[in-house]
């Protein structure tokens, strides 16, 4: 498979918590991000990864894949990329969170698992997970349900953003629908705007 060279400095490795934790605007108490240019901040306060994907990766990587193997804060069930919409809000514990963008895999993921090709594999598979911003701070506890609170009328899903960003970059209609998604993180909006300009010029 190939392995990345040298040590990787990261806050990627997560340990499960046993009890309630305060969820604040910048994330969970006790969590941290080493590279704050690409991780963390108000629009990336929480990383979410669907637990349904782990059997796929366990088979492909030929290893055990326990929760948080992808460095996520929340390992979920029933919140897949083709169902979760940008701008949708959820109540979890005492907090309210909002979907802001797809999770974009980086070299830290490849370094964690020693598989250089893992980043393009994740992008091609669509099994990216997603990020949340915190609209209302509160206490969250392991096992809390993420209860749907609202969903934008446009309903642009994480899967749709991934499709036009990684696969169908000349789908002008799809790109324009994606860039207009209410609640989309500004960096992703600019990225999609750049793809729109390229698609129009093609």
Domains and CATH numbers, the chain: 21-154 (2.40.33.20)
SS3 category, 190? helix
Give the pLDDT mean for 3-31. 72
Q: What percent of the chain has pLDDT over 70?
A: 89
Query: Is residue 161 within 8 Å of residue 86, measured between CB atoms?
Result: yes
Over residues 129-154, the mean pLDDT reads 96
DSSP at 55: H
Structure-model confidence comparison of residues 106 and 193, the more confident one: 193
What pLDDT is attached to residue 81?
98
Those residues whose C-beta lies under 8 Å from the C-beta of residue 161, and which sit 6 or more positions away, are 86, 101, 102, 178, 181, 184, 188, 192
Dihedrals phi, psi of 145, to nearest 5 degrees: -80, 145
Cα 82–27–36 angle (5° rounding)? 90
The DSSP code sequence of 79-97 is --TTTPBTT-EEEETTEEE
Q: Which residues are within 8 A (CB) of 155 and not within 5 positions of it... i.e. 6 or more apart?
A: 85
pLDDT of residue 129: 98
Whether the predicted model's global pTM rises above the 0.85 cut: yes
């Amino acid at each position: 498979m190939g392995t990345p060279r040298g040590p990787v400095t990261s806050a990627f490795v997560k340990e499960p918590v046993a009890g309630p934790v305060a969820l604040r605007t910048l994330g969970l108490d006790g969590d941290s991000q080493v590279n704050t240019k690409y991780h963390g901040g108000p629009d990336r306060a929480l990383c979410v990864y669907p637990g349904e994907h782990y059997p796929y990766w366990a088979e492909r990587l030929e290893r055990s894949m326990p929760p948080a193997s992808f460095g996520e804060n929340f390992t979920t069930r029933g919140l897949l990329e083709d169902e979760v919409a940008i701008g949708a809000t959820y109540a979890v514990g005492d907090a309210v969170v909002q979907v802001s963008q797809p999770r974009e895999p980086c070299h830290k993921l490849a370094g964690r698992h020693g598989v250089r090709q893992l980043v393009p594999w994740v992008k091609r598979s669509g099994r990216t997970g997603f990020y949340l911003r915190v609209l209302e701070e509160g206490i969250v506890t392991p096992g809390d349900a993420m209860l749907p609170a609202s969903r934008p009328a446009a309903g642009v899903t994480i899967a749709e953003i991934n499709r036009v960003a990684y696969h169908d970059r000349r789908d002008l209609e799809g790109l324009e629908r994606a860039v207009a998604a209410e609640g989309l993180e500004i960096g992703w909006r600019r990225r999609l705007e750049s793809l729109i300009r390229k698609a129009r010029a093609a």
